[in-house]
Amino acid sequence: MRAIRFHEYGGPEVLRYEEVPDPVPRLDQLLVRVKACAMNHLDLWVRKGTTKSPLPHIPGSDVAGEVVEVGKYVTGLRSGQRVLLAPMTFCNHCAQCAAGRQNMCRGFSVFGNAVDGGDCELIAVPRVSVIPIPDHLSFDQAASVPLVFVTAWHMLTGRARIRPGYTVLVLGGGSGVGTAAIQICKLFNATVITTAGDENKLEKTRALGADYGINHYQQKISDEVGRITNKEGVDIVFEHVGKATWEESLKSLKPGGTLVTCGATTGPEAAIDLRFVYSRQFSILGSYMGTMGELHEVLQHVFSGKLKPVIDRTFPLKDARAAHQRMEKSEMFGKIVLNP
């Protein structure tokens, strides 16, 4: 099959479109023909070597496609079925997995990180990873959902315990995870304040339901949040930007508020004034992906049309370099999708 693969870490130029051996599924696995694989910021970390993925490596976490082969020990799925793949791997037998907390499993990883991913034509996966999709959802749409929606769902419901009527500051509303977060907040009738780098992106976040927009290059986030909330601050800050926004994020919280973070796209080191944390009784929560239960839960809202995947644009798989460059420059709004 053809795949995007890199043999050394580096810039987009290390990505090669090349012939690799077809995967051979085990008897307890299925073979899926990849129709669409969405990009995530993780693809950039993986390519740069930040996550130390094994080499050579096929990136790509979010796959939708068609079942082409069903292993002898697999039940409940048939050849030809349209599916998406849960973007995670886990042992499925440890105490955490048995309790449904797969994202705390010691063997937990994301597709395309510690193991080869979906930037290819065929992928062999265990039964537990394969989830049928409804006919009205295109492959591009389905691939745009899993990682960002399970991440945003776990952050807001599993970790920050969002309640109806909360006010939430969603950083980077034009990112994949931001577009998911805005919609999930609206599902809880929360008031959403979001940020983006230009007016065009802010306009699109309003179409997703954001109530207020802040241009994070031109305006000071905490000042604007103060103005919008009558100096009260927000209940939850939804963070994934890291260094560039961290201080403003903490300043935007109301006393007793919760900051939940799933990433650090602008850098991992951030300062915390502890006096500020204890006197205002903040909760600072880490969040990583989500559980299989949460994935199934959020998918129900996507399948029913209440939450909508947001596609920026699609590229042929062979043009993965151009897709990586687009993400590197933060030009996208929503998900970039590769088509084998």
Nearer to Zn ion, 14 or 94 (CB): 94
- Sign, CA torsion 201/318/51/38: positive
CA gap 54, 6 in Å, rounded: 10
Nearer to Zn ion, 91 or 322 (CB): 91
Helix, strand, or coil here: 130? strand
CA gap 49, 55 in Å, rounded: 10
CB of 129 to Zn ion, least distance (A): 14
Nearer to Zn ion, 99 or 272 (CB): 99
Alpha helices in 100-145 (DSSP H): 139-143
Q: 88: exposed, middle or buried (C-beta count within 10 Å: 0-12, 13-18, 19+)?
A: buried
Stretch that binds Zn ion, among 55-63, 86-94, 229-237, 263-271 (CB under 5 A): 86-94
Beta strand pairing call for 130-132 and 16-19 = unpaired
Nearer to Zn ion, 98 or 322 (CB): 98
Does the protein bind Zn ion through residue 185 (CB under 5 A)? Answer: no
* Number of residues lying near Zn ion (CB under 5 A): 5
Does the protein bind Zn ion through residue 322 (CB under 5 A)? Answer: no
Site for Zn ion in 90-109 (CB under 5 A): 90-91, 94, 97, 105
CA gap 85, 62 in Å, rounded: 7
Nearer to Zn ion, 105 or 202 (CB): 105
Q: Using CB atoms, what's the residue nearest to Zn ion?
A: 105
The number of beta carbons lying within 10 Å of the beta carbon of residue 99 is: 11
Does the protein bind Zn ion through residue 289 (CB under 5 A)? Answer: no
For residue 65, the cross-strand partners are 34, 83
Site for Zn ion in 191-250 (CB under 5 A): none
Does the protein bind Zn ion through residue 63 (CB under 5 A)? Answer: no
Does the protein bind Zn ion through residue 86 (CB under 5 A)? Answer: no
Does the protein bind Zn ion through residue 292 (CB under 5 A)? Answer: no
Beta strand spans in 78-211 (E): 82-85, 88-89, 109-110, 122-126, 130-132, 167-170, 191-196
Nearer to Zn ion, 99 or 322 (CB): 99
CB of 96 to Zn ion, least distance (A): 5
List residues near Zn ion by CB under 5 A. Answer: 90-91, 94, 97, 105
